[in-house]
Amino acid sequence: MPSIKALIFDVFGTLVDWRTGIAREARGILSPLGIELDWPTFADAWRSQYQPAMDQVRSGRLPFSKLDVLHRRNLEIVLMDFGLGDVAEPARAQLNLAWHRLDAWPDVAPGLARLRRKYRLAPCSNANISLMIDLARRNGLVWDAILGAEIARDYKPKPAVYLSSAAALDCDPAEVMMVAAHGSDLAAAASVGLRTAFIARPGEHGPGKGETGAGVPVDLSAASVLDLADQLAVIFPSPSSPEVD
Amino acid sequence: MPSIKALIFDVFGTLVDWRTGIAREARGILSPLGIELDWPTFADAWRSQYQPAMDQVRSGRLPFSKLDVLHRRNLEIVLMDFGLGDVAEPARAQLNLAWHRLDAWPDVAPGLARLRRKYRLAPCSNANISLMIDLARRNGLVWDAILGAEIARDYKPKPAVYLSSAAALDCDPAEVMMVAAHGSDLAAAASVGLRTAFIARPGEHGPGKGETGAGVPVDLSAASVLDLADQLAVIFPSPSSPEVD
């Protein structure tokens, strides 16, 4: 494998535990209103609207709208589905920002700190920039830049999202490694020339409900971000410099 | 003044000393080739091509090209003007990246670190993302995101650059303060509703050759980034939270 200069990361599922966080936030906001639900099921239902909403943008039926806007459209649907159409505006707005208040898996902050000594790092997520800023501040993540859908004005797995991230980093696609817990994301990145690393998050959708393997060809497969850092340190003992040369 | 949530920064001149750095880098690359020049004059000449090149993009005569590309076009002009048309390619490419290797004024890293405890921070520069990444790594600057021309696909002082930065931060323009050492930059930011802070860099263009005052109405005027942090701490003793609420 030729040397890489940068790593870009999927975020929901790969770096942060969205299901536990959304369930916690929904409970914290809705249960004081007297609402009782199966909170993880509510989180799953909200997340299930994610791909269909982005498909509207990917297909050109909807102009690019950032993920906070799509999350809000999806929230309206899910509240109706759960018979919660009378939840009032302040709670809806507060709930929509639940996606800004998710916790990273425990290996993420130390793993990224190690990788950043050697590589440029950026999220390449479908989330918007302000959402990435809030997750970074909450979890102590230091990025070199925030890349992804809001920069590309389109959603993964569209090629433009991966390619605009590489271009912003002044890298050829083969100099960038896409890191994700989802084989489909990695297959799309590989199809436009990026290197790929799978990180297993077997509990992403609840205990025993996550991808345990990429299911597609990848360059590396790791159990955590720290494990990825270990593997890269073996493959590239003399790392590329973080400084432009 | 209403509370602000974020500060965005001009970079060349305001945060980094481009003139000293370009002179040093040009000397380091060209003098081993037997070339002797007045290096600060070379830096000034290169910089003098900056606004005309961006004008090509602002006016629509040239599609958006990132600043590294414009710097390279400008370098060709300046090398010819200095009778250096025979400088070969590797040196040209290395010289063009001199803009990635500039030093920050001494108050910048500690000043930004203080401000970041209370506010979201991003560069809002005409430089491209990778250039901002390299300056941040070199000088130990921690940004929440890299905003500016490459995101807006246009150059300051076009309104889109300021407004896209505020939008990426989920802020109204009035919740964002633009910080610059140049009155024209601040006037443009104010005209689209941003708050403004002037920082004096009286030596930007050489001893005694920099703007000592904004020359236009601004919300704050400071001697350094640390002074700006001091002034904001007095105005807003109970700061806005860095977390979304």
pLDDT > 80? residue B232: yes
In angstroms, the separation between the Cα of residue B134 and the nearest Cα of chain A is 6
What pLDDT, in 10s, does the model give residues A135-185?
999 999 999 999 999 999 999 999 999 999 999 999 999 999 999 999 999
Mean per-residue pLDDT for B107-121?
Answer: 98
Q: Please give the pLDDT value at position A240.
A: 52
pLDDT > 60? residue A201: yes
Q: What share of residues in chain A are helix, strand, coil (percent, to 5)?
A: 50, 10, 40
Mean per-residue pLDDT for B226-240?
Answer: 88
Region class of A75: left (phi > 0), else alpha (psi between -120 and 50), else beta: alpha
Task: Check A144 against B128: CB less than 8 A apart.
Answer: no
What pLDDT, in 10s, does the model give residues A209-227?
999 999 999 999 999 999 9
Task: Check A133 against B142: CB less than 8 A apart.
Answer: no
Mean per-residue pLDDT for B174-192?
Answer: 98
- pLDDT band for A242, please (50, 70, 90 cuts): very low
The burial of B213, by beta-carbon neighbours within 10 Å (0-12 exposed, 13-18 middle, 19 or more buried), is given as exposed
Region class of A105: left (phi > 0), else alpha (psi between -120 and 50), else beta: beta
Region class of B110: left (phi > 0), else alpha (psi between -120 and 50), else beta: alpha
Task: Check B243 against A168: CB less than 8 A apart.
Answer: no
Question: Which positions in chain B have a beta carbon within 8 angstroms of at least one beta carbon in chain A?
Answer: 68, 97, 100-101, 120, 128-130, 132-134, 136-138, 142, 144-147, 150-151, 168-170, 242-244
Q: Please give the pLDDT value at position B89.
A: 95
pLDDT > 80? residue B238: no
Residue B159 neighbours by CB under 8 Å, 6+ apart: B188, B191, B192
For chain A, domains (ranges, CATH) are: 6-17+102-235 (3.40.50.1000), 18-100 (1.10.150.240)
> Cα dist. A201→A106, A206, B163, B189 in Å?
12, 10, 38, 44
DSSP state of A218: -
Task: Check B144 against A136: CB less than 8 A apart.
Answer: yes
Q: Please give the pLDDT value at position A188.
A: 98
Sign (positive or negative) of CA dihedral A189, A194, A199, A200: positive
Task: Check A169 against B142: CB less than 8 A apart.
Answer: no
Contacts of residue B139 in chain A, CB cutoff 8 Å? none
Beta strands A176-180 and A6-9 are: parallel
Asked if residues A105 and A148 have their Cβ atoms less than 8 Å apart, the reply is: no
Beta strands B176-180 and B6-9 are: parallel
- pLDDT band for B237, please (50, 70, 90 cuts): confident
- pLDDT band for A244, please (50, 70, 90 cuts): very low
Mean per-residue pLDDT for A231-241?
Answer: 80
Q: Give the predicted TM-score (pTM) of the model.
A: 0.95
What pLDDT, in 10s, does the model give residues A88-130?
999 999 999 999 999 999 999 999 999 999 999 999 999 999 9
Q: Select from A145, A98, A97 the least CA-distant residue to A124.
A: A145
Mean per-residue pLDDT for A190-195?
Answer: 98
- pLDDT band for B40, please (50, 70, 90 cuts): very high
Q: Please give the pLDDT value at position B245.
A: 35
Q: Please give the pLDDT value at position B244.
A: 39
| Structure-model confidence comparison of residues A172 and B239, the more confident one | A172
Q: Please give the pLDDT value at position A133.
A: 98
- pLDDT band for B2, please (50, 70, 90 cuts): confident
Neighbours of A129 (CB within 10 A): 29
In angstroms, the separation between the Cα of residue A140 and the nearest Cα of chain B is 11
**Cα A168 to Cα B19: distance, rounded to the nearest angstrom:** 25
- Predicted-complex ipTM score: 0.94
Asked if residues A186 and A198 have their Cβ atoms less than 8 Å apart, the reply is: yes
